[in-house]
Amino acid sequence: MPLEGSAQVVGELASRGYNAEREAVTLIETADDPGETLRVVVDSVPADTLKITAANVREVRESLEGGATSSSRRTGAGTGTTAGATDAASTPDERSDAPEEPSELDTQQPDEDPLVSTGDSSTDSTVGDAAPVETGGSFERKIDEALRSVEIAGDVTGQSTGTGEYKNFVSVFRDRYEKLSSKLRGRVNHRPTSTIESMTGGSEVALVGMVNDVRSTASGHWLVELEDTKGTFPCLVMKDRPLAGLVDELLCDEVIAIEGTLSDDAGIVFVDSLHFPDVPRTYEPSYADRHVQAALISDVHVGSQEFMADEWDQFCTWLHGPQAEHVEYLCIAGDMVEGVGVYPNQDEELDVVDIYEQYEAFNEKLKQVPGDLDIVMIPGNHDAVRLAEPQPGFDDRLRDIMSAHDPQITGNPSTVTLEGVDILMYHGVSLDEVIAELPADKASYDEPHKAMYHLLKKRHVAPQYGGHTRLAPEEKDYLVIENVPDIFHTGHVHKLGFGKYHNVLAINSGCWQSQTDFQKSVNIDPDAGFAPIVDLDTLDVTVRKFS
């Protein structure tokens, strides 16, 4: 088997489910017979091996070729037999530039190598067909793990104290009210509902409350009932006022502020202005200090008959290739597997029926990803964790199964900070609700990022309790967006969309599952096989297409 270049070695190994140390790839590539060397290496490593090491390859080369092997690429017996473009790298100049250190192999990169193209990295909002590396060429990712950082906050895992009792509901809503009202208090001079009741008719008043009910009156005005810790108060939004256009954005249980005039009998407020906790317009996001990228994906749905294995393979081959050399992080926002019993008749479309076997199969897919990526994963509604949000990260048994490349597993939602850039990861079940409740021009499946904007505006990832979204009552409300993230990453609706809201990048990341029968029946046309790639130094997005 001729193997031309490290990209192809990586691809061959990946297709067999292995990752490899860079030096191991180099040692295979420079062997007398790279194909035979790779085959023997793969045959000789223990069955549970995830990553081929340089030592594995050296051992095989010593038995096949005899003598010591060097990790330096264009030296030794292998050089003469490595065909094509890669040999062009062996010019004296490039060799003299190349340090001995094997991890700095990039300096040996031939400029003219046609497969080395990085035209994807800094273009805003680009969608490109990824050119997976199939043959020849070579590249080296400059990886300095010391520059990496991954921090996680807001994770409910291990912190869940809710028992589902009434008092837990009281405390979660109280916490929500506290956190969100504090964001509004500075903007209006509010009074508690109990005080407003005893004020003189005609007074100017302001109120911060949770939306308890929204209904239209017989004459077409809107009655919004707000609740605070002291009681409830009816607020009337006149239909001919410009702010009436905001009423159709309201969801029950979100926290807003209003200012208005008290009626003569002090029984109702006529609303003059309405405020959301919101993200300040002037919000200045943080950026990474160097050019580094994160791939943001979700909804892999391994175990479904519609899981797109070929497209996933292409994505992973691309990740190993030169165009992905700056991709050092992979964030997966839920629905790793298809799960069992999630929706009626789902079993008819299962490829793998056992939930643990689904996670085993997912782990095989994870093995295809380069081993030097940092991976962060949260669960979704198809995953085997409690459905109610906040969802804790996977239990130990599932963590043990999904161990390839040692991913960091955290709850849904969580804030994941990559080199100073805060990414709020949330699976996105509430998006169905936002899209169902809001008018189509404000939120739709075709523009899922606009639905995300509303969650940012409400500073809560799942405001409405008791609908599609199941909420677990905890002592505190993990679903409040306390700090403004730099990136908001969701999935779930299987549609790709991204845009900026007050400088926050909102990305809904599509899926790796083709249309299911249910989706066909309700006209959901999924965006499957896309990988949005974010430059963490600029927050620009490039979408790679593998379908």
CB of 332 to ligand D5M, least distance (A): 13
Which CB sits closer to ligand D5M, 240 or 348? 348
* 441: nearest Cα among 427, 429, 451: 451
Query: Which one of Zn ion, ligand D5M, Fe ion, none interacts with residue 176, CB within 5 to 8 A by kind?
Result: none
Query: Which one of ligand D5M, Fe ion, Zn ion, none interacts with residue 393, CB within 5 to 8 A by kind?
Result: none
Interface residue with ligand D5M, options 492, 505, 512, 539 (CB under 6 A): 492
CB of 304 to ligand D5M, least distance (A): 9
- Tell whether residue 447 is a contact of ligand D5M (CB under 6 A): no
Per CB under 5 A, contacts with Fe ion among 285-304 are: 299
Q: What is the DSSP letter of 497?
A: E
- Tell whether residue 383 is a contact of Fe ion (CB under 5 A): no
Which CB sits closer to ligand D5M, 224 or 438? 438
H or E element: which one contains 181?
A: helix 166-185
**Burial class of 38 by CB neighbour count within 10 A (0 to 12, 13 to 18, 19+):** buried
Which CB sits closer to Zn ion, 261 or 519? 519
Count of residues that bind Fe ion according to CB under 5 A: 2
Interface residue with ligand D5M, options 3, 279, 352, 493 (CB under 6 A): 493
- For residues 383 and 339, is the Cβ–Cβ distance under 8 A? yes
CB of 297 to Zn ion, least distance (A): 13
* 22-29 vs 6-15: helix crossing angle, rounded to 10: 110
Per CB under 6 A, contacts with ligand D5M among 424-443 are: 432
- Tell whether residue 356 is a contact of ligand D5M (CB under 6 A): no
Which CB sits closer to Zn ion, 335 or 447? 335
Tally the C-alpha atoms within 13 A of residue 243's C-alpha that lie toward its C-beta. 18
Which CB sits closer to ligand D5M, 104 or 432? 432
- Site mask for Fe ion (CB under 5 A), range 299-328, x = bound: x-----------------------------
Q: How far apart are CA 172 and CA 156, in angstroms?
A: 13
CB of 9 to Zn ion, least distance (A): 36
- The token pair that represents 199 in the structure block: 């004020």
Among all chains, which residue has been given the structure tokens 């790709």? 496
- Tell whether residue 87 is a contact of ligand D5M (CB under 6 A): no
Among all chains, which residue has been given the structure tokens 């190994």? 13
Among all chains, which residue has been given the structure tokens 């629905």? 335
- Site mask for ligand D5M (CB under 6 A), range 513-532, x = bound: -----xx----x--------
Q: How far apart are CA 249 and CA 233, in angstroms?
A: 19
Q: How far apart are CA 381 and CA 248, in angstroms?
A: 27
Pairing of strands 51-52, 293-297: unpaired
Q: Find the DSSP H helices in 31-135.
A: 34-44, 54-65, 92-97
Which CB sits closer to ligand D5M, 460 or 494? 494
* 34-44 vs 6-15: helix crossing angle, rounded to 10: 30
- The token pair that represents 88 in the structure block: 């062009």
Interface residue with ligand D5M, options 494, 498, 509, 539 (CB under 6 A): 494
Segment lying near ligand D5M (by CB under 6 A), choices 215-223, 289-297, 360-368, 487-495? 487-495
- The token pair that represents 412 in the structure block: 């849904």
Interface residue with ligand D5M, options 253, 335, 447, 477 (CB under 6 A): 335
CA–chain centroid gap for 429, Å, is: 14
Which CB sits closer to ligand D5M, 42 or 337? 337
Q: How far apart are CA 405 and CA 373, in angstroms?
A: 8
- The token pair that represents 80 in the structure block: 């003469």
Contact set with Zn ion (CB under 5 A): 335, 380-381, 492
Interface residue with Fe ion, options 253, 278, 335, 447 (CB under 5 A): 335
**Interface residues with Fe ion (CB under 5 A)?**
299, 335
**Interface residues with ligand D5M (CB under 6 A)?**
299, 335, 343, 381-382, 432, 492-494, 518-519, 524
